[in-house]
A and B are shown apart, each in its own frame.
Chain A
Amino acid sequence: MPHRTKVKAVPVPEILPQQAHPMQKYLRMDRLPHIWCSGCGLGTALSCFTYALDELELGAEDIGVVSGIGCTGRIAGYLNLDSYHTTHGRAIPFATGLAVAKPDKKVVVFSGDGDLFAIGGNHFIHAARRNIDMTVLCVNNFNYGMTGGQYGPTTPIGSRGTTAPYGNYENPFNLPYLAASCGAVYVARWTSLHARRLKEAMVEAIMKPGFTFVEIVSPCPTNYGRRNRLGDGLDELRTYAERSVIRHGANPAEADLIPGNDIIVGRFIDTTRPTFLEAYQEQIVRKNKFDK
């Protein structure tokens, strides 16, 4: 469209007193602005989440958020919901306690790649195995951002981190593959550029009973991006635009994230099996008539 070649006067805006953002009711406005860097994908993840809540018409009485430690873990502090900022790696078991105590409410774990898959890895696989009714949203920025950029379980081979000064040589997790193999009933991956689809995935994942998982690929311009010469946040998003390929139903085993290769995104798994509490109700309570 050649409209930019016309010399046009810049439209003059109205100046209004500060207006309320449409998603304000989901945010603790007194805690904003948030701590995340310019170009970080966490703000987008938070934004998409509030729009997902709005679309689902879920309020504070319906949903709670549990987070761990790290930049992503701070997300809980900005949401105007019951939010629980727990210890490193232990958001999922804390959320298990909540979910079991309040089965009619939605529990979302919002945490980062290191928190969920290094120290928290064991809890992830068991909660998925049990099909605990919760949604795990993992913002994957390929390093431990909060603590300065150490490498982590999703850092690609060859990438640098402060504790991988010669380049990482450990094989990283393929998160959708891991989630699927542990029994997650919904597995999707989007980047923070795919804001609309990410929001939709959050909606689907939250509404679906059982253990649902969405990986959110995000820039970390201050640490991972800078050390690996990926440019700033905008540059990383341009890379996502260039390299993302949407493949719904793709085999997660074939969705490794390798720098320079395609970024396979989409809804990979969407299946059904009894949740932890459904199995408990059926096999223990009803079978033994404990509810009589």
Chain B
Amino acid sequence: MATAVTKRWKTKHGYLYIQEDECKGCGFCIEFCPKKVLEESAQFNAKGYYPPRVVDADACVNCTFCELICPDFAIWSEKEQEEVSRNNG
């Protein structure tokens, strides 16, 4: 069994994190990203769902909409200037 990993993409002003195995394939982030940053992965995850992957990292403005709407805590963004302490705890 594969160890759980987090995939991280570099965006213009930060990062986008996706924890693929948490995803339940609802499609909300892909559909409603205002910048069309995401698309469905080619591979399915451990649960059998197709998680999102970044298709256009440059378009991402770290608006955090995907992060907010994701029902499974599987995707989040980080702005460079933000304090690292945001990921504590």
Contacts and interface: CB of A to CB of B under 8 A. Distances in A.
- A and B form one complex: yes
Interface of A: 1, 3-4, 8, 10-11, 13-25, 27, 32-34, 36-44, 46-48, 51, 192-193, 195-196, 199, 233-234, 237-238, 241
Contact of B9 (A11, A25, A33, A40): A11
Contacts of A234: 26-28, 31
Contacts of B73: 21, 23-24, 27, 32, 43, 47
Nearest to B42: A10
Given A3-B56, A44-B71, 14 more contacts: A3-B36, A4-B36, A4-B56, A10-B55, A11-B9, A13-B54, A16-B5, A18-B3, A25-B89, A34-B72, A38-B26, A38-B49, A43-B73, A195-B69
B7 A13 contact: yes
A93 B28 CA distance: 35
Interface of B: 3-10, 17-19, 22, 24-28, 31-32, 36, 49, 53-57, 59, 65, 67-73, 76, 78, 86-89
Contacts of B22: 32-33
B7 A193 contact: no
B27 A196 contact: no
A222 B59 CA distance: 34
A199 B9 contact: no
Contacts, number: 123
Nearest to A42: B71
Instruction: Please report whether the interface of chain B is mostly helix, strand, loop or mixed according to DSSP.
Output: mixed
A15 B7 contact: yes
A127 to B, nearest CB: 28
Contacts of A11: 9-10, 54-57
A47 B70 contact: yes
Nearest to B25: A38
A37 B6 CA distance: 22
B71 A36 contact: yes
